[in-house]
Amino acid sequence: MLGALYALIAVGLNIQYGVTRILNLAYGELLMIGAYITYSFFDSYGINPLVTLIMSGLVASILGIIIQLLIFRRIISQSRSAMELEFKSLLACFGLIFIIQNTLAQTFGTTPIGVPYLREGIDILGQKFELNKVVAAAMSVAISAIMYIFIRFTRWGMAMRATAEEPTGAQLVGINVLKIHAISFSLGCIAAALAGSMLCMIYSNLDPYSGTRYGLIALMILVLGGRGSFIGSAVGGLIVGYTYYAFLRITPSLAIPAVYILLILILLVKPKGLFGR
């Protein structure tokens, strides 16, 4: 269940980086925006957290387009090489991290938040699970599947894949690469915000600075599964989630180190990741 949620988190970052070549280190902070949207509507108006997924997705899509148009489009157009693009975009992302973190802290404070929703237990094959985790896992799988179908079987998805593989060739056949960049970045922000909303349902210790942790997890899964591979993000998320939870049950202090050791071992065998080309 944790792996399914991690997979959704990684899918959004992979879409952004695979298409635009922007390694969005502020991705975790966008995830926290979704968490705070869910918390705010539930705390103030008692709105069902599953309903707030619509609001989180809408706000994230608009915010993603604004960020891409005002910041990253200018960086892409002014960069003369891939190295210059990566350097400038990383600096911009660090700025976004501080802006979003401090805006959330000033608006909502630093007290940990969470939504007490569907915390009752449910029996599955003789084991007890919290219902909110089951629902979050099922929703994550459904959202990831919808995104996969969109990218794999629609004309917009074909344009995104063409832009990711050969930007110049995509322009030559009439694809508006700038528009595809905006759509891809927005789609990644939607995935982040939806995952954040569901994390808010599961955990009660989220704060404005929690996004950094999930941003690193997304980056780890992206490297593990392979850049630009949707299936790699899904499989990598399941591997990371399962490994993390297994060690969390045995030795909590070794959970994160165990995931990094696994990442290193896999990269020694497959340097481009499990499904990288």
Digit-coded pLDDT (tens) for 184-227? 999 999 999 999 999 999 988 899 999 988 998 898 898 888 87
pLDDT at 227: 79
Digit-coded pLDDT (tens) for 25-58? 999 999 999 999 999 999 888 899 999 999 999 9
Digit-coded pLDDT (tens) for 79-111? 888 788 888 888 999 999 999 999 999 999 999
Q: Which of 4-13, 85-94, 200-209, 243-252 has the lowest mean pLDDT?
A: 243-252
Instruction: Please give the structure tokens belonging to residue 234.
Output: 């899904």
pLDDT at 255: 83
Contacts of 41 (CB under 8 A, 6+ apart): 47, 51, 52, 55
Asked if residue 180 has pLDDT above 80, the reply is yes
| 203 Rama sector, left if φ>0, alpha if ψ -120 to 50, beta otherwise | beta
pLDDT at 101: 95
pLDDT at 199: 93
CA 90 to CA 273: how far, in whole Å? Answer: 22
pLDDT at 18: 86
Pairing of strands 127-130, 121-124: antiparallel
Extended strands (E) in the chain: 121-124, 127-130
Based on its alpha-carbon atoms, the radius of gyration of the chain, rounded to whole angstroms, reads 18
**β-pair partners for 122:** 129
Nearest to 119 by CA among 134, 102, 141, 139: 134
Neighbour count for residue 180 (Cβ, 10 Å): 21
Asked if residue 277 has pLDDT above 70, the reply is no
Q: Hey, is 124 helix, strand or coil?
A: strand
CA 181 to CA 70: how far, in whole Å? Answer: 12
pLDDT at 254: 85
CA 132 to CA 121: how far, in whole Å? Answer: 9
Digit-coded pLDDT (tens) for 124-176? 888 888 899 999 999 999 999 999 999 999 999 999 999 988 988 999 999 99
Contacts of 52 (CB under 8 A, 6+ apart): 37, 38, 41, 42, 197
Q: Hey, is 121 helix, strand or coil?
A: strand
pLDDT at 54: 92
pLDDT at 121: 83
